[in-house]
Amino acid sequence: MIIKNALALSGKVGLRYITVNDYCLTKWLYDKYEFELFPKENRKLIKYKRNPRPDHTVSMYMDIHEN
């Protein structure tokens, strides 16, 4: 729903990307909707997997004009 709304809104304003700051434990949800990690976030994710905590987050984005 949010992705469809963002796509519709992008025709009226200069919206291209949706960004989220996601908890590592729920990253699978954004993977399901084809969000991608920002390039530098891969290092954080590797570090967090060694020492997981529920409050660890990573930044992800979706280019709504690729879909």
30-56: pLDDT as tens digits: 999 999 999 888 888 888 888 888 888
Stated pTM of the model: 0.78
Give the span between the Cα atoms of 64 and 67, in whole angstroms: 6
pLDDT for the residue 67: 55
- The answer to whether the beta carbons of residues 35 and 66 sit under 8 Å apart is no
- For the stretch 14-34, pLDDT in tens is 888 999 999 988 889 999 999
- The answer to whether the beta carbons of residues 21 and 59 sit under 8 Å apart is yes
Confidence of residue 12 (pLDDT cuts 50, 70, 90): confident
